[in-house]
Chain A
């Protein structure tokens, strides 16, 4: 069991200026996840008649991409390739002071406390993160052959859960890692190649329109990504973009 102090960003709504508030989390078990620790703190707040800390969460098994907290200056906290829900309190020790902040980026306005609006990422997908196919009967498996390396690259890129940690970590608030993962996922598959030129242009343009910054190659995103999406996808997106200029 341990006692820790939390400095949590509290903000009533988009218009509110927001501030840090200090909470004491007492008798926290090492086995708890970070979100369970916050649940305990919130129960205390509710008991005291106070507004609980609002934070995003859903599956709590590291695959949905909902949790979004910057913990002591690192998106998703100190454990590598781990979402906040899979981050356990054994990563902390008794007496620690933990800062919890929402994702910070112009394209991610704070809705309340630690919850930000990430629909800008959805609009990047809407701009081209899909393939146009006629619906109908299920096609035969392996009717279109895909080489193992291409399938692997596409799968590695498809691991992105769209949590936005890359944007949160990027000093420029750029969504290049997210966008490149989606572009390269589809560009490696025969079904996706058909619209590759249009896709890379439309998605990067949508990203710019949403107010995300450009990539300065700091590579903070890769280090923060809970799914280990690599910056080589950004290079590959740039390659797709250059190719698109000659088509």
Chain B
């Protein structure tokens, strides 16, 4: 029985946001696990990169799915933001937030910040057109990602942008993860507090995980 047009339905759109959001969260987690190989030195991350580069088909399929999911998430995110804004045309002179948080009220802005950071991040480390030069090779003829990251994250402007991106990410995820459980209809009354806590915890773990890389570089734990 088909009663509705899914992608033009306000619950349908939210479900699309939730579904693509799960995938994007999955990517952020896998990316962190992969990048953590930097803590094993050049033998860790350079070997990891070489392994990825040896499977171009898989990498490209993954990238295309990523681009698709990102585009869908951004498209419906902006559409929902505009529609929701339109539903509340006159603001209150005085309005108290009872439960809404800074994170929940700024999803569109943290989302846009992540998108802007992502573009910078790709230009910085994937296409290497900003600051870091062409990718060298290490003593074992592997692409020297280790040196590139060390060089890239020790520059102050890059580091500031990196931390800005991570801050947007932690805010976006802290509301986004618990939100997707609610939108997908998984959250029950008894689960609610735990879901919110787990969502915040997951976001903070991602934040600390990514921050550990530049922190380790600055602390001198990771060096040339």
Could you tell me which A residues sit within 8 Å of B by CB distance? 7, 20, 70, 72-74, 99, 101, 104-107, 169-174, 197-198, 201-202, 204-205, 207-208, 211-220, 222-224, 230-232, 234-242, 244-245, 247
- Residues of chain A contacted by B97 (CB below 8 angstroms): 220
Interface 1/0s, chain B 66-106, versus A by CB < 8 A? 00000000000000100111111111111111111100110
Contact yes or no, A217 B175, CB < 8 A: yes
- A205-B9, A212-B87 known; A218+B94 contact, CB < 8 A: no
Query: Which has the most chain A C-beta neighbours within 10 Å: B6, B87, B185?
Result: B87
Contact yes or no, B3 A70, CB < 8 A: no
Contact yes or no, B90 A104, CB < 8 A: yes
> What are 16 of the A-B contact pairs (CB < 8 Å)?
A7-B93, A171-B84, A171-B100, A171-B105, A201-B3, A201-B4, A216-B80, A216-B107, A219-B99, A220-B100, A224-B98, A231-B182, A232-B187, A235-B186, A236-B185, A242-B15
User: CA A220 – CA B3 in complex, angstroms?
Assistant: 30
User: CA A207 – CA B87 in complex, angstroms?
Assistant: 11
Q: Closest residue to B94 on the A side, CB-wise?
A: A73
Interface size of B as a range: 35 or more
User: CA A204 – CA B95 in complex, angstroms?
Assistant: 27
User: CA A217 – CA B84 in complex, angstroms?
Assistant: 12
Contact yes or no, A218 B104, CB < 8 A: yes
A-B complex: 7 closest residue pairs judged by Cβ atoms:
A239-B185, A213-B87, A223-B98, A201-B3, A172-B84, A238-B185, A173-B87
- Residues of chain A contacted by B86 (CB below 8 angstroms): 106, 211, 213
- Residues of chain A contacted by B46 (CB below 8 angstroms): none
B205 on the A face (CB < 8 A): no
Q: Closest residue to A7 on the B side, CB-wise?
A: B93
Name the one of B83, B98, B175 contacting A74, with C-beta atoms under 8 angstroms. B98
User: CA A219 – CA B98 in complex, angstroms?
Assistant: 8
Contact yes or no, B11 A214, CB < 8 A: yes
Interface 1/0s, chain B 1-32, versus A by CB < 8 A? 10110100111111100000000000000000
- Looking at the assembled complex, report how far the CB atom of B179 sits from the nearest CB atom of chain A, in whole angstroms: 4
- Residues of chain A contacted by B96 (CB below 8 angstroms): 72-74
B147 on the A face (CB < 8 A): no
Name the one of A73, A174, A234 contacting B95, with C-beta atoms under 8 angstroms. A73
- Residues of chain B contacted by A205 (CB below 8 angstroms): 3-4, 9
- A208-B10, A238-B11 known; A217+B183 contact, CB < 8 A: yes
Q: Closest residue to A222 on the B side, CB-wise?
A: B99
Interface 1/0s, chain B 179-208, versus A by CB < 8 A? 101111111110010000000000000000
- Residues of chain A contacted by B110 (CB below 8 angstroms): none
User: CA A170 – CA B84 in complex, angstroms?
Assistant: 10
User: CA A222 – CA B91 in complex, angstroms?
Assistant: 20
User: CA A177 – CA B105 in complex, angstroms?
Assistant: 18
Contact yes or no, A204 B10, CB < 8 A: yes
Contacts beyond the supplied A101-B92, A232-B188: 7 A-B pairs with Cβ under 8 Å: A73-B95, A104-B90, A174-B84, A198-B1, A201-B3, A213-B10, A241-B12
Contact yes or no, B94 A99, CB < 8 A: yes
Q: Closest residue to B96 on the A side, CB-wise?
A: A73
- Residues of chain B contacted by A216 (CB below 8 angstroms): 80, 84, 104, 107, 179
Name the one of A213, A240, A245 contacting B88, with C-beta atoms under 8 angstroms. A213
User: CA A174 – CA B192 in complex, angstroms?
Assistant: 20
- Residues of chain B contacted by A197 (CB below 8 angstroms): 1, 3
Contact yes or no, B87 A70, CB < 8 A: no
User: CA A232 – CA B92 in complex, angstroms?
Assistant: 27
Contact yes or no, A202 B104, CB < 8 A: no
- Residues of chain A contacted by B6 (CB below 8 angstroms): 245
- Looking at the assembled complex, report how far the CB atom of B17 sits from the nearest CB atom of chain A, in whole angstroms: 9
- Looking at the assembled complex, report how far the CB atom of A232 sits from the nearest CB atom of chain B, in whole angstroms: 4
Name the one of A72, A174, A204 contacting B94, with C-beta atoms under 8 angstroms. A72
- Residues of chain B contacted by A174 (CB below 8 angstroms): 84, 87
Contact yes or no, B98 A20, CB < 8 A: no
Q: Closest residue to A175 on the B side, CB-wise?
A: B87
User: CA A171 – CA B86 in complex, angstroms?
Assistant: 11
User: CA A242 – CA B18 in complex, angstroms?
Assistant: 12
Query: Which has the most chain B C-beta neighbours within 10 Å: A7, A170, A217, A245?
Result: A217
- A208-B9, A214-B84, A244-B3 known; A238+B183 contact, CB < 8 A: yes
Q: Closest residue to A156 on the B side, CB-wise?
A: B189
